[in-house]
Structure 1
Amino acid sequence: MCRMLAFASEEPRDLTPYLAHLARLSAHGNLVERWEKRPGGNHPDGWGIAFRQGGETRLIRSGEPAASDPSLSGIRGSTDRFLGHARYADNTETVNKENAHPFLARGIALAHNGTFRGRIGEEAERRKVSDSLVFLESLADCWKNRTHAGLCEALSTMLGDTELVGAYSAATILIASGKTIFALRDYRKDADYYTLFLRSEPGLVIVASEPLDDSPGWRLLANGELLELLLPAPKPLFLTVPS
Protein backbone atom coordinates (compact mmCIF):
# COMPACT_ATOMS: atom_id res chain seq x y z
CA MET A 1 0.00 0.00 0.00
CA CYS A 2 1.30 3.44 -0.75
CA ARG A 3 1.03 6.96 -2.06
CA MET A 4 2.27 7.56 -5.60
CA LEU A 5 2.81 10.33 -8.11
CA ALA A 6 4.08 10.65 -11.67
CA PHE A 7 4.47 13.29 -14.33
CA ALA A 8 5.22 13.63 -18.02
CA SER A 9 6.53 16.98 -19.20
CA GLU A 10 7.49 18.54 -22.52
CA GLU A 11 10.64 19.95 -20.92
CA PRO A 12 12.79 18.69 -18.03
CA ARG A 13 11.55 19.91 -14.64
CA ASP A 14 13.33 20.36 -11.34
CA LEU A 15 12.78 17.29 -9.15
CA THR A 16 12.79 19.26 -5.89
CA PRO A 17 9.07 20.14 -5.61
CA TYR A 18 8.00 16.61 -6.58
CA LEU A 19 10.31 15.07 -3.99
CA ALA A 20 8.77 17.43 -1.43
CA HIS A 21 5.30 16.26 -2.49
CA LEU A 22 6.42 12.65 -2.04
CA ALA A 23 7.74 13.38 1.45
CA ARG A 24 4.48 15.10 2.37
CA LEU A 25 2.42 12.17 1.08
CA SER A 26 4.61 9.83 3.13
CA ALA A 27 4.01 11.86 6.28
CA HIS A 28 0.36 12.83 5.93
CA GLY A 29 -1.17 10.95 2.98
CA ASN A 30 -4.55 9.29 3.33
CA LEU A 31 -4.46 5.99 5.26
CA VAL A 32 -7.22 3.42 5.74
CA GLU A 33 -8.63 4.04 9.23
CA ARG A 34 -8.40 0.42 10.38
CA TRP A 35 -4.68 0.16 9.55
CA GLU A 36 -1.92 0.49 12.13
CA LYS A 37 -0.37 3.92 12.56
CA ARG A 38 3.43 3.62 12.56
CA PRO A 39 6.31 5.88 13.57
CA GLY A 40 7.70 7.97 10.75
CA GLY A 41 4.44 9.02 9.07
CA ASN A 42 1.40 7.44 7.46
CA HIS A 43 3.50 5.71 4.77
CA PRO A 44 6.92 5.30 6.42
CA ASP A 45 8.15 1.97 5.02
CA GLY A 46 10.53 3.13 2.31
CA TRP A 47 10.39 5.17 -0.85
CA GLY A 48 11.62 5.12 -4.41
CA ILE A 49 11.74 7.18 -7.58
CA ALA A 50 12.33 6.36 -11.24
CA PHE A 51 13.12 9.06 -13.77
CA ARG A 52 14.62 9.52 -17.22
CA GLN A 53 18.19 10.74 -17.35
CA GLY A 54 20.48 10.58 -20.35
CA GLY A 55 17.96 8.50 -22.28
CA GLU A 56 17.85 5.80 -19.59
CA THR A 57 15.69 5.09 -16.55
CA ARG A 58 17.44 5.87 -13.27
CA LEU A 59 16.19 4.18 -10.10
CA ILE A 60 16.78 5.41 -6.53
CA ARG A 61 15.26 3.58 -3.54
CA SER A 62 15.48 3.51 0.24
CA GLY A 63 13.99 1.58 3.14
CA GLU A 64 13.77 4.73 5.26
CA PRO A 65 10.72 7.01 5.71
CA ALA A 66 10.47 9.48 2.85
CA ALA A 67 9.30 12.18 5.25
CA SER A 68 12.62 12.26 7.11
CA ASP A 69 15.23 10.62 4.87
CA PRO A 70 17.98 13.12 3.97
CA SER A 71 18.93 11.01 0.96
CA LEU A 72 15.56 11.96 -0.58
CA SER A 73 15.66 15.65 0.20
CA GLY A 74 19.27 15.81 -1.00
CA ILE A 75 18.55 14.60 -4.55
CA ARG A 76 19.17 17.20 -7.24
CA GLY A 77 18.32 17.02 -10.91
CA SER A 78 15.65 17.47 -13.54
CA THR A 79 13.67 15.14 -15.78
CA ASP A 80 10.76 14.99 -18.19
CA ARG A 81 9.42 11.63 -16.91
CA PHE A 82 9.05 10.76 -13.22
CA LEU A 83 7.54 8.11 -10.92
CA GLY A 84 7.52 8.34 -7.11
CA HIS A 85 6.30 5.91 -4.42
CA ALA A 86 6.05 6.08 -0.61
CA ARG A 87 5.33 2.67 0.92
CA TYR A 88 3.12 1.26 3.66
CA ALA A 89 4.21 -2.38 3.94
CA ASP A 90 1.69 -5.17 4.40
CA ASN A 91 4.44 -7.02 6.29
CA THR A 92 6.89 -4.84 8.22
CA GLU A 93 9.52 -7.59 8.03
CA THR A 94 9.87 -6.74 4.33
CA VAL A 95 10.81 -3.10 4.93
CA ASN A 96 14.15 -2.57 3.19
CA LYS A 97 15.64 -0.92 0.13
CA GLU A 98 15.20 -4.02 -2.04
CA ASN A 99 11.43 -4.09 -1.49
CA ALA A 100 10.91 -0.37 -2.08
CA HIS A 101 9.07 0.62 -5.26
CA PRO A 102 9.40 1.30 -8.15
CA PHE A 103 10.80 -1.96 -9.47
CA LEU A 104 12.60 -2.21 -12.80
CA ALA A 105 12.55 -5.25 -15.09
CA ARG A 106 13.33 -5.50 -18.80
CA GLY A 107 13.00 -1.79 -19.35
CA ILE A 108 9.72 -1.41 -17.42
CA ALA A 109 9.51 0.53 -14.14
CA LEU A 110 6.45 -0.22 -11.99
CA ALA A 111 5.05 1.24 -8.77
CA HIS A 112 1.99 -0.44 -7.24
CA ASN A 113 -0.66 0.36 -4.64
CA GLY A 114 -2.38 -2.82 -3.48
CA THR A 115 -1.68 -6.48 -2.72
CA PHE A 116 -1.79 -9.47 -5.08
CA ARG A 117 -2.65 -12.96 -3.88
CA GLY A 118 -2.87 -16.18 -5.90
CA ARG A 119 0.22 -17.63 -7.59
CA ILE A 120 1.91 -14.23 -7.56
CA GLY A 121 1.51 -13.91 -3.80
CA GLU A 122 2.70 -17.48 -3.26
CA GLU A 123 5.83 -16.96 -5.38
CA ALA A 124 6.56 -13.67 -3.63
CA GLU A 125 6.37 -15.38 -0.24
CA ARG A 126 8.57 -18.25 -1.40
CA ARG A 127 11.22 -15.89 -2.82
CA LYS A 128 10.89 -13.38 0.05
CA VAL A 129 10.27 -10.55 -2.42
CA SER A 130 7.43 -8.13 -3.13
CA ASP A 131 4.31 -9.40 -4.87
CA SER A 132 4.55 -6.27 -7.02
CA LEU A 133 7.95 -7.38 -8.35
CA VAL A 134 6.58 -10.81 -9.27
CA PHE A 135 3.64 -9.10 -11.00
CA LEU A 136 6.04 -6.90 -12.97
CA GLU A 137 8.06 -9.92 -14.09
CA SER A 138 4.86 -11.58 -15.32
CA LEU A 139 3.76 -8.37 -17.04
CA ALA A 140 7.10 -8.11 -18.86
CA ASP A 141 6.39 -11.57 -20.33
CA CYS A 142 2.73 -10.85 -21.14
CA TRP A 143 3.09 -7.34 -22.59
CA LYS A 144 4.48 -8.29 -25.99
CA ASN A 145 3.20 -5.24 -27.89
CA ARG A 146 4.62 -2.30 -25.92
CA THR A 147 1.73 0.02 -26.77
CA HIS A 148 -1.16 1.46 -24.77
CA ALA A 149 -3.59 -1.02 -26.34
CA GLY A 150 -1.13 -3.86 -25.78
CA LEU A 151 -0.78 -2.93 -22.11
CA CYS A 152 -4.54 -2.74 -21.69
CA GLU A 153 -4.89 -6.23 -23.15
CA ALA A 154 -2.06 -7.65 -21.03
CA LEU A 155 -3.40 -6.17 -17.79
CA SER A 156 -6.96 -7.27 -18.56
CA THR A 157 -5.72 -10.82 -19.12
CA MET A 158 -3.57 -10.93 -15.99
CA LEU A 159 -6.07 -9.29 -13.64
CA GLY A 160 -8.84 -11.50 -14.97
CA ASP A 161 -6.86 -14.64 -14.05
CA THR A 162 -7.99 -15.32 -10.49
CA GLU A 163 -5.49 -18.15 -10.06
CA LEU A 164 -2.68 -15.74 -10.94
CA VAL A 165 -3.64 -12.70 -8.84
CA GLY A 166 -6.19 -14.12 -6.39
CA ALA A 167 -8.58 -11.83 -4.52
CA TYR A 168 -6.30 -8.82 -4.86
CA SER A 169 -7.14 -5.59 -3.07
CA ALA A 170 -6.09 -3.24 -5.86
CA ALA A 171 -3.93 -3.00 -8.95
CA THR A 172 -3.52 0.75 -8.93
CA ILE A 173 -0.27 1.07 -10.84
CA LEU A 174 2.17 3.51 -12.42
CA ILE A 175 4.31 2.20 -15.28
CA ALA A 176 7.18 3.81 -17.18
CA SER A 177 8.45 2.27 -20.40
CA GLY A 178 10.92 4.35 -22.38
CA LYS A 179 9.41 7.79 -22.93
CA THR A 180 5.91 6.67 -21.99
CA ILE A 181 4.13 6.68 -18.63
CA PHE A 182 0.89 4.82 -17.93
CA ALA A 183 -1.41 5.07 -14.91
CA LEU A 184 -4.06 2.52 -13.92
CA ARG A 185 -6.66 2.79 -11.19
CA ASP A 186 -8.13 -0.64 -10.42
CA TYR A 187 -9.50 -1.62 -7.00
CA ARG A 188 -11.72 -4.27 -5.38
CA LYS A 189 -12.09 -2.63 -1.94
CA ASP A 190 -11.36 0.63 -0.07
CA ALA A 191 -12.28 2.90 -2.98
CA ASP A 192 -11.42 6.03 -0.99
CA TYR A 193 -7.83 4.83 -0.55
CA TYR A 194 -6.92 3.27 -3.90
CA THR A 195 -7.28 6.54 -5.76
CA LEU A 196 -5.47 8.28 -8.61
CA PHE A 197 -6.09 11.88 -9.63
CA LEU A 198 -5.13 13.52 -12.92
CA ARG A 199 -4.35 17.13 -13.73
CA SER A 200 -3.17 18.56 -17.05
CA GLU A 201 -1.71 21.97 -17.84
CA PRO A 202 0.24 23.24 -20.85
CA GLY A 203 3.35 21.11 -21.17
CA LEU A 204 2.65 18.92 -18.12
CA VAL A 205 0.49 15.96 -17.08
CA ILE A 206 0.47 14.80 -13.44
CA VAL A 207 -1.15 11.84 -11.69
CA ALA A 208 -1.09 11.33 -7.92
CA SER A 209 -2.80 9.29 -5.23
CA GLU A 210 -4.16 12.57 -3.87
CA PRO A 211 -4.36 16.09 -5.33
CA LEU A 212 -1.02 17.75 -4.70
CA ASP A 213 -2.52 21.23 -4.26
CA ASP A 214 -5.81 23.12 -4.21
CA SER A 215 -5.69 24.14 -7.85
CA PRO A 216 -8.74 23.31 -9.97
CA GLY A 217 -8.74 20.57 -12.55
CA TRP A 218 -7.89 17.46 -10.56
CA ARG A 219 -9.98 14.54 -11.84
CA LEU A 220 -10.43 11.17 -10.13
CA LEU A 221 -9.76 8.27 -12.48
CA ALA A 222 -12.55 5.73 -12.87
CA ASN A 223 -12.14 2.15 -11.71
CA GLY A 224 -10.45 0.25 -14.54
CA GLU A 225 -9.22 3.40 -16.30
CA LEU A 226 -5.77 3.08 -17.87
CA LEU A 227 -4.22 6.37 -18.96
CA GLU A 228 -1.32 7.02 -21.26
CA LEU A 229 0.17 10.32 -20.11
CA LEU A 230 0.30 11.87 -23.55
CA LEU A 231 0.94 15.55 -24.09
CA PRO A 232 -1.03 17.71 -24.45
CA ALA A 233 -3.96 15.41 -23.57
CA PRO A 234 -3.81 12.02 -21.78
CA LYS A 235 -5.53 9.14 -23.55
CA PRO A 236 -7.80 6.76 -21.58
CA LEU A 237 -8.58 3.11 -22.22
CA PHE A 238 -10.59 0.82 -19.95
CA LEU A 239 -9.72 -2.67 -18.78
CA THR A 240 -12.13 -5.53 -19.39
CA VAL A 241 -11.81 -7.43 -16.11
CA PRO A 242 -14.71 -9.27 -14.42
CA SER A 243 -15.81 -7.58 -11.18
Structure 2
Amino acid sequence: MAAFSTKEVVDISSLFEIVSWMAKNGKKAEHSDGYGVLVFDEISKFEYKTTVPIYDDFRGRELVKQIHGKLGLIHARKASQGVPVGLQQLHPFHIRGRYLAHNGTITGADRSNAFQSDTYGFFSNVVDFEDFESLVNNVKRYISTHDFTGVNFLLVDEFEKALYVGCIYKKDVDYFTLHYKIDALGFYVYSEQMEDSLLEMENGEILKVVEGNIVEQGKVF
Protein backbone atom coordinates (compact mmCIF):
# COMPACT_ATOMS: atom_id res chain seq x y z
CA MET A 1 0.00 0.00 0.00
CA ALA A 2 1.01 3.62 -0.47
CA ALA A 3 -0.36 7.10 0.17
CA PHE A 4 0.43 10.73 -0.60
CA SER A 5 -0.29 14.26 0.52
CA THR A 6 1.07 17.03 -1.69
CA LYS A 7 1.14 20.80 -1.95
CA GLU A 8 -0.10 20.81 -5.54
CA VAL A 9 -2.08 18.42 -7.72
CA VAL A 10 0.11 15.56 -8.97
CA ASP A 11 -0.12 12.65 -11.39
CA ILE A 12 -0.71 9.35 -9.57
CA SER A 13 0.26 6.90 -12.32
CA SER A 14 3.77 6.44 -10.90
CA LEU A 15 2.30 5.60 -7.48
CA PHE A 16 0.03 3.06 -9.17
CA GLU A 17 3.05 1.40 -10.79
CA ILE A 18 4.90 1.25 -7.46
CA VAL A 19 2.00 -0.47 -5.70
CA SER A 20 1.55 -2.77 -8.68
CA TRP A 21 5.20 -3.82 -8.44
CA MET A 22 4.99 -4.39 -4.68
CA ALA A 23 1.82 -6.46 -5.07
CA LYS A 24 3.41 -8.67 -7.72
CA ASN A 25 7.06 -8.84 -6.63
CA GLY A 26 7.38 -7.41 -3.13
CA LYS A 27 7.44 -8.92 0.33
CA LYS A 28 4.87 -11.70 0.88
CA ALA A 29 3.69 -11.32 -2.71
CA GLU A 30 1.39 -11.85 -4.37
CA HIS A 31 -1.24 -9.44 -3.08
CA SER A 32 -3.77 -10.71 -5.58
CA ASP A 33 -7.18 -10.23 -3.92
CA GLY A 34 -8.04 -6.94 -5.63
CA TYR A 35 -7.21 -3.33 -4.84
CA GLY A 36 -8.64 0.09 -4.16
CA VAL A 37 -7.68 3.62 -5.19
CA LEU A 38 -8.82 6.85 -3.50
CA VAL A 39 -7.77 10.31 -4.73
CA PHE A 40 -8.92 13.82 -3.84
CA ASP A 41 -8.16 17.06 -5.65
CA GLU A 42 -9.46 20.47 -4.54
CA ILE A 43 -13.07 19.83 -5.56
CA SER A 44 -13.62 16.18 -6.44
CA LYS A 45 -13.03 12.58 -5.41
CA PHE A 46 -11.98 9.57 -7.47
CA GLU A 47 -12.57 6.09 -6.09
CA TYR A 48 -11.98 2.80 -7.87
CA LYS A 49 -12.12 -0.80 -6.64
CA THR A 50 -11.86 -4.12 -8.42
CA THR A 51 -11.19 -7.74 -7.49
CA VAL A 52 -8.73 -7.96 -10.40
CA PRO A 53 -5.11 -7.94 -9.12
CA ILE A 54 -3.61 -4.49 -9.58
CA TYR A 55 -0.77 -5.83 -11.73
CA ASP A 56 -3.27 -7.45 -14.14
CA ASP A 57 -5.75 -4.58 -14.34
CA PHE A 58 -4.98 -2.89 -17.65
CA ARG A 59 -8.22 -0.89 -17.51
CA GLY A 60 -7.28 0.55 -14.12
CA ARG A 61 -3.77 1.36 -15.31
CA GLU A 62 -5.15 3.40 -18.21
CA LEU A 63 -7.79 5.03 -16.02
CA VAL A 64 -5.37 6.39 -13.42
CA LYS A 65 -3.28 8.04 -16.13
CA GLN A 66 -6.11 10.59 -16.30
CA ILE A 67 -6.30 11.11 -12.52
CA HIS A 68 -4.51 13.85 -10.61
CA GLY A 69 -4.85 14.79 -6.97
CA LYS A 70 -3.35 16.18 -3.77
CA LEU A 71 -4.33 13.44 -1.32
CA GLY A 72 -4.99 9.74 -1.59
CA LEU A 73 -3.99 6.13 -1.22
CA ILE A 74 -3.71 2.84 -3.10
CA HIS A 75 -4.09 -0.52 -1.34
CA ALA A 76 -3.52 -3.96 -2.87
CA ARG A 77 -5.15 -6.67 -0.79
CA LYS A 78 -3.89 -10.00 0.45
CA ALA A 79 -6.83 -11.36 2.43
CA SER A 80 -6.35 -12.53 6.00
CA GLN A 81 -7.15 -16.18 6.59
CA GLY A 82 -10.88 -16.72 7.06
CA VAL A 83 -11.89 -13.33 5.66
CA PRO A 84 -14.01 -13.37 2.48
CA VAL A 85 -12.52 -12.22 -0.82
CA GLY A 86 -14.79 -9.87 -2.72
CA LEU A 87 -15.50 -6.29 -3.73
CA GLN A 88 -17.06 -5.47 -0.34
CA GLN A 89 -13.86 -6.37 1.49
CA LEU A 90 -11.58 -4.10 -0.53
CA HIS A 91 -9.89 -1.16 1.15
CA PRO A 92 -10.30 1.67 1.82
CA PHE A 93 -13.40 1.42 3.98
CA HIS A 94 -15.47 4.56 4.50
CA ILE A 95 -17.17 5.93 7.62
CA ARG A 96 -18.51 9.50 7.78
CA GLY A 97 -15.97 11.21 5.55
CA ARG A 98 -13.00 9.15 6.70
CA TYR A 99 -11.37 6.36 4.71
CA LEU A 100 -9.07 3.66 6.04
CA ALA A 101 -6.78 1.01 4.54
CA HIS A 102 -4.90 -1.45 6.73
CA ASN A 103 -2.14 -4.02 6.51
CA GLY A 104 -1.89 -6.86 9.02
CA THR A 105 -4.14 -9.32 10.81
CA ILE A 106 -6.02 -8.47 14.02
CA THR A 107 -6.83 -11.56 16.09
CA GLY A 108 -10.14 -11.37 17.89
CA ALA A 109 -11.34 -8.34 15.94
CA ASP A 110 -15.09 -7.95 15.63
CA ARG A 111 -15.98 -9.41 12.23
CA SER A 112 -19.73 -9.31 12.76
CA ASN A 113 -19.88 -6.22 10.53
CA ALA A 114 -21.40 -6.32 7.04
CA PHE A 115 -17.94 -6.78 5.50
CA GLN A 116 -16.84 -9.63 7.82
CA SER A 117 -13.59 -7.69 8.09
CA ASP A 118 -11.07 -7.30 10.92
CA THR A 119 -10.02 -4.01 9.30
CA TYR A 120 -13.53 -2.60 9.47
CA GLY A 121 -13.81 -3.79 13.07
CA PHE A 122 -10.67 -1.80 13.91
CA PHE A 123 -11.80 1.22 11.88
CA SER A 124 -15.20 1.43 13.56
CA ASN A 125 -13.49 1.50 16.96
CA VAL A 126 -11.05 4.33 16.21
CA VAL A 127 -12.89 6.50 13.65
CA ASP A 128 -14.56 8.86 16.12
CA PHE A 129 -11.87 11.35 17.11
CA GLU A 130 -11.93 15.11 17.52
CA ASP A 131 -8.20 15.73 17.24
CA PHE A 132 -4.89 13.95 16.77
CA GLU A 133 -4.47 13.10 20.45
CA SER A 134 -7.86 11.41 20.61
CA LEU A 135 -7.03 9.29 17.56
CA VAL A 136 -3.79 8.16 19.21
CA ASN A 137 -5.72 7.32 22.39
CA ASN A 138 -8.36 5.40 20.43
CA VAL A 139 -5.67 3.29 18.79
CA LYS A 140 -3.92 2.74 22.13
CA ARG A 141 -7.12 1.46 23.71
CA TYR A 142 -7.87 -0.84 20.79
CA ILE A 143 -4.46 -2.50 20.56
CA SER A 144 -4.36 -3.01 24.34
CA THR A 145 -7.30 -5.43 24.05
CA HIS A 146 -6.56 -7.14 20.71
CA ASP A 147 -3.69 -9.30 19.54
CA PHE A 148 -2.33 -8.57 16.06
CA THR A 149 0.51 -9.08 13.65
CA GLY A 150 0.24 -5.53 12.32
CA VAL A 151 -2.10 -2.55 12.57
CA ASN A 152 -0.45 -0.44 9.90
CA PHE A 153 -3.02 2.00 8.58
CA LEU A 154 -3.57 4.84 6.14
CA LEU A 155 -6.50 7.08 7.09
CA VAL A 156 -7.74 9.93 4.89
CA ASP A 157 -10.06 12.62 6.24
CA GLU A 158 -11.83 14.29 3.33
CA PHE A 159 -13.00 17.28 5.39
CA GLU A 160 -9.63 18.09 6.98
CA LYS A 161 -7.85 17.06 3.77
CA ALA A 162 -5.48 15.21 6.10
CA LEU A 163 -3.61 11.92 5.91
CA TYR A 164 -2.96 9.88 9.06
CA VAL A 165 -0.35 7.11 8.91
CA GLY A 166 0.09 4.46 11.59
CA CYS A 167 3.02 2.01 11.78
CA ILE A 168 2.18 -0.54 14.48
CA TYR A 169 3.26 -4.17 14.59
CA LYS A 170 4.30 -7.01 16.91
CA LYS A 171 6.57 -9.04 14.65
CA ASP A 172 8.13 -9.21 11.19
CA VAL A 173 9.92 -5.86 11.31
CA ASP A 174 11.12 -6.12 7.72
CA TYR A 175 7.62 -6.63 6.37
CA PHE A 176 5.67 -4.14 8.47
CA THR A 177 8.04 -1.16 8.66
CA LEU A 178 6.62 1.75 6.67
CA HIS A 179 8.91 4.04 4.66
CA TYR A 180 8.32 7.67 3.73
CA LYS A 181 9.81 10.74 2.13
CA ILE A 182 9.14 14.46 2.01
CA ASP A 183 10.30 16.19 -1.16
CA ALA A 184 9.46 19.29 -3.18
CA LEU A 185 6.07 17.83 -4.11
CA GLY A 186 5.08 16.66 -0.64
CA PHE A 187 4.78 13.50 1.47
CA TYR A 188 4.77 9.91 0.18
CA VAL A 189 4.63 6.70 2.24
CA TYR A 190 5.11 3.10 1.09
CA SER A 191 4.88 -0.33 2.68
CA GLU A 192 8.33 -1.19 1.28
CA GLN A 193 11.71 0.51 0.83
CA MET A 194 11.14 1.59 -2.77
CA GLU A 195 13.93 4.20 -2.77
CA ASP A 196 17.25 4.23 -0.92
CA SER A 197 16.55 7.68 0.50
CA LEU A 198 13.28 6.76 2.23
CA LEU A 199 13.02 7.23 6.00
CA GLU A 200 11.69 4.50 8.30
CA MET A 201 8.74 5.09 10.59
CA GLU A 202 9.20 3.90 14.16
CA ASN A 203 7.10 1.05 15.46
CA GLY A 204 4.13 2.55 17.32
CA GLU A 205 4.36 5.87 15.48
CA ILE A 206 1.39 7.80 14.06
CA LEU A 207 1.79 10.82 11.77
CA LYS A 208 -0.66 13.48 10.65
CA VAL A 209 0.15 15.02 7.27
CA VAL A 210 -1.50 18.06 5.67
CA GLU A 211 -0.54 19.46 2.25
CA GLY A 212 2.69 17.49 2.21
CA ASN A 213 3.90 18.44 5.69
CA ILE A 214 3.98 16.37 8.88
CA VAL A 215 2.02 18.54 11.31
CA GLU A 216 1.70 16.16 14.29
CA GLN A 217 3.49 13.05 15.53
CA GLY A 218 2.55 10.62 18.29
CA LYS A 219 3.31 7.18 19.71
CA VAL A 220 1.01 4.42 20.94
CA PHE A 221 3.83 2.65 22.80
2:187 equivalent to 1:202: no
* SS of structure 2 residue aligned to 1:129: coil
2:42 equivalent to 1:45: no
2:147 equivalent to 1:167: yes
The equivalent of 2:206 in structure 1 is 226
Equivalent pairs counted in the alignment come to: 216
Q: Output the TM-score relative to the length of structure 2.
A: 0.89
* SS of structure 1 residue aligned to 2:19: helix
| Displacement of 1:52 | 0.9
* SS of structure 1 residue aligned to 2:14: helix
Note if contact 2:105-2:149 (Cα within 8 Å) is conserved in structure 1.
yes
2:172 equivalent to 1:190: yes
2:140 equivalent to 1:144: no
Q: Output the TM-score relative to the length of structure 1.
A: 0.82
Q: Deviations over 1:149-180 (max 9, x none)?
A: 221121112222x1xxx321110100001200
Letter in 2 for 1:83: L
* 1:133 corresponds to which of 83, 108, 120: 120
> Where in structure 1 do 4 or more consecutive aligned residues deviate above 3 Å?
53-58, 230-233
Per the alignment, do residues 92 and 63 of structure 1 end up closer, same or farther by CA in structure 2, a change over 3 Å counting?
farther
The equivalent of 1:14 in structure 2 is 11
Per the alignment, do residues 93 and 118 of structure 1 end up closer, same or farther by CA in structure 2, a change over 3 Å counting?
closer
The equivalent of 2:106 in structure 1 is 116
Unaligned runs of 5+ in 2: none
Q: Deviations over 1:99-140 (max 9, x none)?
A: 11111111111000011122524x25xx55221122212222
Note if contact 1:19-1:72 (Cα within 8 Å) is conserved in structure 2.
no
* SS of structure 1 residue aligned to 2:149: coil
Note if contact 1:8-1:229 (Cα within 8 Å) is conserved in structure 2.
yes
Measured in 1, the distance between the counterparts of 2:210 and 2:42 equals 20
Unaligned runs of 5+ in 1: 32-40
* 2:156 corresponds to which of 176, 195, 199: 176
Higher normalized strand content (fraction of residues): 2
* 2:23 corresponds to which of 21, 26, 40: 26
Measured in 2, the distance between the counterparts of 1:101 and 1:128 equals 11
Per the alignment, do residues 93 and 108 of structure 1 end up closer, same or farther by CA in structure 2, a change over 3 Å counting?
closer
Measured in 1, the distance between the counterparts of 2:95 and 2:44 equals 13
Measured in 2, the distance between the counterparts of 1:152 and 1:144 equals 9
* SS of structure 2 residue aligned to 1:159: helix
2:93 equivalent to 1:103: yes
Identity %: 24
Measured in 1, the distance between the counterparts of 2:175 and 2:194 equals 15
